[in-house]
Structure 1
Amino acid sequence: MPNRFYPRTKARLPVSIPTVSKTRPLKGARLLLALSLGLALGLGGCGTSPDKPASTKGSQQPAKLSAKALLEQAGQAVSPERERLILAAAERYIETGKYEQARRLLIDMESDTLNDDAYVKHTDLLANVALQEGSNILAFGILTKPRLEQQWSAMEPAQELSLREKRAQIFDLMGEAERSVSERVLLSSLITHKQSEKANLNSLWHSLMSINLARLEQLAMSAPGDTERGWYALAAIGKNNQLDLDQQQTLLQRWQREWRNHPAQSNLPDDLRLLKSLIASQPRQIALLLPQSGRLAEAGQAVRDGFFAAYYQALAQGRQVPEVRQYDSTGDIIAAYEQAITDGAQLVIGPLDKEKVTELSLLPGFKVPLLTLNYPEPAPAQAVDNLYQFGLALEDEARQVARQAYSEGHRQAMVIIPEQEWSERSARAFSAEWEKLGGIVVNRSQFKTGSNYSRLVKDALLIEQSQQRTTQLQNLLGIKLETTPRSRGDVDMIFLIANPAQARQIKPTFAFHYAGSIPIYATSQVYTGEPNAKVDRDLNGIRFNTMPWLFDTASPEKQAIKQYTQSAAVYDRLQALGADAFRLYARLPQLAQIEQMRLYGATGTLRMLPDGRIEREQIWARFRNGLAQPLPMVVNASEEY
């Protein structure tokens, strides 16, 4: 992948500190140059002879000096003292949040020529800057160099702890969960602070939970070392049987008997620790409030199909299931909610209609928990007891696009959306997340269905300005020039919201207008959910986030729906919503109490935000040869087709 984190020409301070020999002091003209450069940097006078560099013996210690003063001393010093002072200056910049200045110093250094101690320090500092600036691929490269692997045995514990923590972070960010787990297991033997130990455990568990169940079970048998195998075995229990609390508790008790000396015995992950209380408090009766007539009747039926597919699958496996009573949400929603409670409901799921969700959300309080299947508008100003919000929010998808594109090195985005209110909300969510991360939205364009997509793309890419420049140059020179118009150079990713038909016309237009190499990210609307290589070949290269449900051919719930219903593919996502509503019913208190808790559902990885809103993290896919294919967390930008 091209390095998008820093300019191809290295960014430098106004004047670089001159390179000097490792063994000889600066003399004569070279020293005078160094002194003048130090003054140009505003570092002050040196007061030394041009034939002999000032000694640092007895001078103020680095811990008490500013970055500028350290650089002044470095301008007079010889290696390895010179490099030590530059590293100290970079560290001072980092301590004061001046990451750009630190980066410029560090990337100007030839790290391969540093001695081992300085190399380790340089690695730690530059990785720190890269992580702070979101330059994940750069950080990954820095922290996985072979030379670093040779230094572990000679490091001080504090230095090793710092580097291993950064490695664990970047492995997790880059989708290298198993490597992150290994680092965190090693970290557990270095950490002595209780709070840090707990934070490391939470991060370790998060990495474990990102690994699929089959791989966890395999690693529980083959991972190096008893401690890692025990963690993988415990994670398999946490990942498996998320729908069956009783079975999960039984497996946990068996693990505790078999792994008596494992460090997790005295510090179980929070979600497993709460199993007993969840079993005791899970609802025995649920009310399902869905539209049974009117314009949303078919949508309500799709949600109902998904819910009961999951329900009967649980029943077939001998799991405990609640009694479910259904109510029509088409009429008076307050009356339906109150009737459900009167009838004994301990949890209410629904409604689906945004207006009715908003109406319910305005109640002064909720006697029993309410899990809505849409989001109120506007959102409640603060968390409301017993109100949980779950739905297929397009804003979640847009924010996820921003995080993914930023993690893959992009910084300058073009946004192209249809002229519709829901797409406006998605674009705002993307832009807010993108700018919070540090990205820039350089252009935003809107289109109407059936509009001139060529003109849309041409205007967005400033092709006409390029053609005008050529015309002006021809008029100036009085000759005809053979030139190719160029698209704008300040865009390194495109965020596209479009349905499949629109995207099939827009995507090729970028290639026609000389921008075919700019990666395009989209939300789930770009895919119908049904493979069709012939018509979708024009979507090749587009990356989009989508539900695991669409690619889960082995799902028994999905197979049951296909067998017993005649629903159109357009309702697949609502069926997944219904299936996850059933999966959530017993886990709501767990999600509410544990920030790190994740439920791996049909619509994505689910977590609860502090305001009771359930956010989805979807999987990634890309069109290749006309077919949508699931992707790892971070993809290679050079592999488009």
Structure 2
Amino acid sequence: MRSYRAAAITVLFSLALSACVPGIKPPSPAETAAAQQAAALASQGQFDQAAQAYLALAAQNPGRASHYRLLAAEDYRQEDALDRAAPIIASIDRTQLQGDEPVRLDLLRAEIALRQHDPATALRLTSQPGVSVPPALQPRQLELRAQAMAASHDYWGAGRTRVQMDGLLHGLDRTQNRTQAIDLLTKEGVDELKQRAAAMHPGDRMLPWINEALTRLGVVVAQAQPNLGQPVGTLLPGAGANVRQGYKVPAKLALLLPEGNDFAGVSQAIREGFFAAYFNAASNHAPRPSVRVYDSVGTPDGAVKAYQLAVADGAQLIVGPLTRGAVGAVLAQSSLPVPVLALNHPDNDTLPASGATEFALRPETEGAQVADHMIERGITRAYVIISDDDFAKRAAGAFKAELVARGGQVVGQAQITSGSVNYHSAIAGLSMTDSSTTPAPAPA
């Protein structure tokens, strides 16, 4: 999880700051040009040459020597040459550093300490109270802290630190961090995890991670059951209401739907179905909540803002959002103060806090169900036609695996461009492949 800095901008900004410090003369044009050349070498991946150039600048400019030595050490780090960075770090005068440089120095020192099998020093350097860490450096600080805790056999602390990192990461970094977090928690053992879970509030952010770790250890995690006063299904008396025991409705409900042009049709269909059921509840004299619809815009940020607005307005249950990206963003929040019934699955396998439910089929589930329905109807041979998007490919893969597992056969496959309505080439390919097979399009 290393990120390359915008070296030229960093150097120029640092030089401008140092020029403002009393007693330090501003950099000469020659020094500025040399610093820019060193930064250019680093941006091209020539870290060893860049480090040598910075060390030369440190020797020529004592007032900014620590600044240049820090840059040199960071370039050696990029080369994975921490052994060469260590003596440079030891020669840095912390009082000469400005801006975020003291934090960067501490992170380098922590990384070197870990390499030298000194997790106690690394933990101290990454857990200093009162130190403000810039957002761009927070993932690296937490990563080093988690490594130090794990090296000290504090698996719970390391796991919690990685959970804290989850919202700061993206893509492969996030996936790897989640795997490491669960692996660390499993090292706590079943009994310890159960004790920790029992002491937590229902909405604690760590609960789903603990449950995942327990599942990994082979423990079946029980779901919380409602506290019923009478047997399930008992009709409750009063005003002719046809409401059974166990039914509980919130006073205020929020519906999060995107209202933009790209989603207008889908949103309208969901809205109409939702309110059809809502008004039909009146025929049973069932209690109904007040409902307010919020525009989630169709973007992850818009969905999070809509969720937070609904919470501020007093909603006790939130239905939505709709798109996978929006669902992932809402469920990735550090806490969910109001329960969510999401209308899709997140596309990043987000582990939500307690109180979140997903109402949707994954493409793999949908594809497997198509195969099951075909087998149940005696159809054992299929030619698969799919579009070229990720959803269709995942559904088709599950469809083929399920069909073959249940004794069926996929005799061929054709792919069409997303949004295409011309199946001529796919049908022509089918007739040439196996004229006795009926096309069975997988979900697209």
TM-score higher than 0.5 here?
no
TM bucket (normalised to shorter chain) is 0.3 to 0.5
Q: With structure 2 as the length reference, what TM-score do the two structures score?
A: 0.40
Instruction: Name which structure has the greater RCO, CA cutoff 8 Å, separation 6+.
Output: 1
Q: With structure 1 as the length reference, what TM-score do the two structures score?
A: 0.29
